[in-house]
Amino acid sequence: MVAVKPMRTSTALSHPIDRPERRSRGGTQPLPLTRGDILRAALPLLARDGVDGLTVRSVADRLGISSPAIYHYFSGRDDLLDRLCELVAAEVDLAIDPSVPWDDAVVTVLLNMNDTFARYPGVAARVLAARRPSPAADRISEVVYQRIRGHGFGADRAHDLLAALHFLFGGWLLGKRPMRREHTNDPALLEQPARWLLRGFVAAGDV
């Protein structure tokens, strides 16, 4: 999206994580390792251990390699985590039928993002604080923006609404609910204010 760096989030990848992926084809010659191999091995560990619990050593152990080998592909743990967060954002399911009303489509994207981030502890906070470019986040923003524009909002108002949705969702992800904390994870408490926001923009007569 243009000036806003919003919502980031697809359907979860399912990977077994109990058994290391030993990389050998016999003898002493290892199979070639790629950055993608490392990220695919690390993603289920991220789901299990969260951002705080993921270590370079745990990823290396899963692959059956030494920790220094990871640093050949990533500058450090932060670089690895940033790229994993991008994968998580790319998991958000954006395949919504074009016939679905624009407001239902926007709310569905928000709920899909929430569902995706919930599977990876700590990723939401890290994504919201990120400053590096995120193609996955831009893709989500563009999908939402186009749905808003399709309803008839002008470019400026569409950007305003997209920004408002970003702030709403960011606050939701960070758990900034001073009351009813025991219900914070109920998706209905995300959907309700999102629909209020959308209706408010429509009622303002800017379409």
79-120 tens-digit pLDDT: 999 999 999 999 999 999 999 999 999 999 999 999 999 999
Q: What angle do CA 139, 144, 146 make, to 5 degrees?
A: 95
Q: Within a 10 A sphere around the Cβ of 166, how many other Cβ atoms?
A: 20
- The pLDDT assigned to 147 comes to 96
Q: Does the residue 88 lie in any domain?
A: no
Query: CA-to-CA distance for 43 and 15, rounded, in angstroms?
Result: 8
Tell which residue, 195, 173, 3, has the closest CA to residue 105. 195
Q: Does the residue 153 lie in any domain?
A: yes
Lowest mean pLDDT among 1-10, 141-150, 167-176: 1-10
Q: Does the residue 49 lie in any domain?
A: no
CATH code of residue 164: 1.10.357.10
Q: Does the residue 103 lie in any domain?
A: yes
Q: Does the residue 116 lie in any domain?
A: yes
Q: Which amino acid is at 129?
A: A
**Residues of the chain with pLDDT > 70: what percent?**
79
Q: Does the residue 43 lie in any domain?
A: no
**Residues of the chain with pLDDT > 90: what percent?**
66
Q: At what angle do helices 35-53 and 56-63 cross, to 10 degrees?
A: 140
- The pLDDT assigned to 29 comes to 40
Q: Does the residue 121 lie in any domain?
A: yes
Query: Mean pLDDT score of the chain, rounded to an integer?
Result: 83
- The pLDDT assigned to 188 comes to 85
- The pLDDT assigned to 30 comes to 54
- The pLDDT assigned to 131 comes to 79
Q: Which domain holds residue 175?
A: 94-203
Query: pLDDT grade, residue 2 (50/70/90)?
Result: very low
pLDDT above 90 for 187: no
Q: Within a 10 A sphere around the Cβ of 22, how many other Cβ atoms?
A: 11
> Tokens at residue 136, please?
């996955």
Q: Which amino acid is at 181?
A: R
Per-residue pLDDT tens digits for 138-155: 999 999 999 999 999 999
The domain tally of the chain equals 1
